[in-house]
Structure 1
Amino acid sequence: MIQSMTGYGKAVLQLPTKKVTIEIKSLNSKNLDLNVRIPSYYKEKELPVRKKLAAALVRGKVDFSIFVEMTADETSTTVNHGVVKEYIQQLRNVVQTGSTDDVELLKMAVRMPDALKTEREELDENEWNLIDEHIDVAIKEIVQYRTDEAASLEIDFKQRIANIKMYLEEVKALDGDRIANVKARLKKAIDDLKVDTDENRFEQELIYYLEKLDINEEKVRLANHLDYFLETLATPDSNGKKLGFVIQEMGREINTTGSKANFAPMQKSVIQMKNELEQIKEQILNVL
């Protein structure tokens, strides 16, 4: 069962004082490109999170985020009263007028250094255990998303492989006419020269020439590659890289067949095979 590398997963956890939102997004990439953004007080858990994501998602450009929204009345940031009062007094001394508006002084004072103090929140292991469980939920959701998206890709792959097989059968059916056509063209070229020829020598040279145009090996190898592609597609694991290698081999056989065809009707079938293969190549880049 193949998986797409494109996916999205989300989980929301409501705690007594905060709302925690976990998001995972992924796009296609040759390797695992993991970007993790979490609040500073969860930083010590970043490495286990990375390992968990790498094991579950394997490959792709992955963005993982934990957003925290405080929902309680309490806040970790408070006004440093002593510092603000001292700033106001200093500002009043600078102005040295009795009509100074204290509200305006307060606005200036809270912008000064250390006017606000933030107490660092320590990691609560029980809280993190709940978050970790919801990370698993988000991972499960993105994996399901990838699987669902890949299902349509698999249908498309099978259809295009069936099309290539159909065009390959056309190539096989045209091979006899192709050889006859090549012989007739060569014979006509010799006759047009209006010279005496040794028939035995002509037959020997013709056999040598036709051996160079023989595509039996290409037909057999292409058929094997098509079957192997379907076998790999049916395995329990998603093997995007292996499928990519198989496609490369299929392309070589199709290109060689086209270069040896030397027969317009056969070349049309080869072009159709190339078109189907290009469509598979574009989509296989998104397979895990």
Structure 2
Amino acid sequence: MLLSMTGYGRATNNWEDKTILVEVRSLNSKYTDLRLRCSQNLREKEAQLRKMVTDFAHRGKLEMSIDITSHLGDDQFGLNVPLFKKYFSALSELSTEFDYEDKTLMSAILRLPNVAASSDGEMSKEEWKAITDTISAALEKFQAFREQEGAATANDLTERVNTISGLLEQVSPHEQDRVEAIRDRLYRSLDDKMGKDRIDESRYEQEVLFYLEKMDINEEKMRLAQHCEYFLEVLNNKTQAKGRKLSFISQEIGREINTLGAKAYSSNIQRLVVGMKDELEKIKEQTANIV
């Protein structure tokens, strides 16, 4: 099973006179990073909330919001009256001292820290359970979204890796042609410089063997085929977090493709290598968004 790093889940729950709304979303990221938005009375539970989400999501740039709304609307606002009076008294004295009249003083004080805030009160065990149940429901929908995206990505990756394997199989028919081409090129070069009568056949064969060793791509072909096979094996295993491993394997695939291109000495093989590189770039883009 493959999981996309991009996901979204939303769940609501009516508990007593309150509505609990939880939203979870994620984007691709190399690391796990959670931005949590919740009411003040949930801050003491922040460590548990973070662990609950990050353990489930594994990796990605995550954001979770928890909104709790009262149907009665009578517990959503609190005013710190003593603090408000202190601010008002001090600022009024300064206004008089500087002969400055400010009609927005009241609203300005309300924006100061700790003056106005939601009066959430203490949380009961029952309310905490209702909240965690809602989070679990949102995470299940979040997971379903990522599984759906991951399945489409897995199909695309399988097709592209198989395309690379198919292009690799097309390399072999062109190998003998490039051997003959290098023989002809070396012979013409010696003929131009020395003339046919002065060509040392023994030295000529040594030069051909030297170039053939440099041109040998059997190891690259074998390793590339193995990497493609291993990529599909990891892609289809039951592990959820496999994005990093697939990224590492794609780097190894790229290394063998580059070496194959450098040792090709054949325009036909080079065209096949270009096709492999094009597929590999699309594979890298996809693996960057896998958990």
Place the TM-score, normalised by the shorter chain, in its bin.
0.7 to 0.9
For 1:183 and 1:147, how far apart are their aligned partners in 2? 55
Number of equivalenced pairs: 268
* CA-to-aligned-CA distance 1:147-203 (integer Å, 9 cap, x gap): 110111111111111111111011122111111111111111112224312101110
Question: In 2 relative to 1, CA 40–248 (structure 1 residues): closer, same or farther, beyond 3 Å?
Answer: same
Could you tell which deviates more after superposition, 238-247 or 115-124? 115-124
Query: In structure 2, how many angstroms separate the alpha carbons of the residues matched to 1:67 and 1:118?
Result: 12
Flag the structure with larger Rg.
Answer: 1
Alignment check: 8 A CA contact 2:247 2:287 kept: yes
In structure 1, the partner of 2:186 is 186
SS of the residue corresponding to residue 8 of structure 2 reads strand
Give secondary structure in 1 for the equivalent of 2:123: coil
CA distance in 2 between counterparts of 1:47 and 1:77 reads 26
1:211-230 equivalences under 5 Å are: 211-230=213-232
Tell me by how many angstroms 1:256 deviates.
0.5
- Assess, with a 3 A threshold, how the Cα gap between structure 1 residues 166 and 17 changes in structure 2: closer, same or farther: same
Offset of residue 18 of structure 1: 2.1
Separation in 1, partners of 2:255, 2:248: 11
Q: Deviations over 1:226-279 (max 9, x none)?
A: 000000011101311000010000000000010111111110011001001111
Q: Does 1:245 align with 2:248?
A: yes
- Residues 17 and 70, structure 2, Cα contact 8 Å, conserved in 1: yes
SS at match of 1:19: strand
Change (3 A) 1:19 1:117: closer
Q: In the alignment, is the contact (CA less than 8 A) between 1:16 and 1:72 conserved in 2?
A: no
Shift of 1:52: 1.1
- TM-score scaled by structure 1? 0.86
8 A contact 1:26–1:62 mirrored in 2: yes
The residue correspondences of 1:74-153 to structure 2 (distance < 5 A) are 74-77=74-77, 119-153=119-153
Instruction: Output the CA distance in 1 between the equivalents of 2:13 and 2:179.
Output: 71
CA offset digits 1:51-104 (Å, max 9, x no partner) = 1111110100000110122211533536899999xx9xxx9xxxxxxxxxxxxx
| Residue-by-residue CA offset, 1:121-155 (whole Å, 9 max, x unaligned) | 11121111011011111111111111110111111
CA contact (8 A) 2:20 2:66 kept: yes
Question: What 5-or-longer segments of structure 1 have no aligned partner?
Answer: 92-106
Q: How does 1:199-218 map to 2 (within 5 A)?
A: 199-218=201-220
Q: State TM-score, norm by structure 2.
A: 0.85
Structure 1 stretch displaced more, 191-200 or 73-82:
73-82
Q: For the residues of structure 1 that align with 2:230 and 2:117, how far apart are their CA atoms?
A: 65
**SS of alignment partner, residue 5 of structure 1:** coil
The verdict on how the C-alpha distance between 1:41 and 1:79 changes in structure 2, with shifts beyond 3 A counting, is closer
Between the aligned residues of both structures, percent identity stands at: 38
Query: What SS is found at the alignment partner of 1:262?
Result: coil
State the superposition RMSD in angstroms: 2.6
Aligned pair 1:254/2:257, yes or no?
A: yes
1:32 partner letter: T
1:3 aligns with 2:3: yes
* 1:199-229 deviation per Cα after TM superposition (whole angstroms, max 9, x unaligned): 0111012101210111110000000000000
The match for 1:273 is 276
Instruction: Name the SS for the 1:261 alignment partner.
Output: coil
Alignment-derived partner of residue 158 in structure 1: 158
SS of residue in 1 equivalent to 2:263: helix
Query: Would you say the 8 A contact 2:4–2:150 is kept in 1?
Result: yes
Whole-angstrom CA distance in 2 between matches of 1:166 and 1:13: 52
TM superposition shift of 1:16: 2.6
Q: Would you say the 8 A contact 2:75–2:119 is kept in 1?
A: no
What is the rounded CA distance, in whole Å, between the counterparts of 2:37 and 2:45 in structure 1? 11
Question: Within 2, Cα distance between the matches of 1:76 and 1:133?
Answer: 23
* Distance (whole Å) between structure 1 residues aligned to residue 200 and residue 22 of structure 2: 83
Q: Distance in 2 between matches of 1:53 and 1:161?
A: 33
CA contact (8 A) 2:75 2:120 kept: no
The residue type paired with residue 264 of structure 1 is S
Q: Name the counterpart of 1:97.
A: none
Match of 1:54 in 2: 54
Does the residue aligned with 2:22 lie in a helix, a strand or coil?
strand
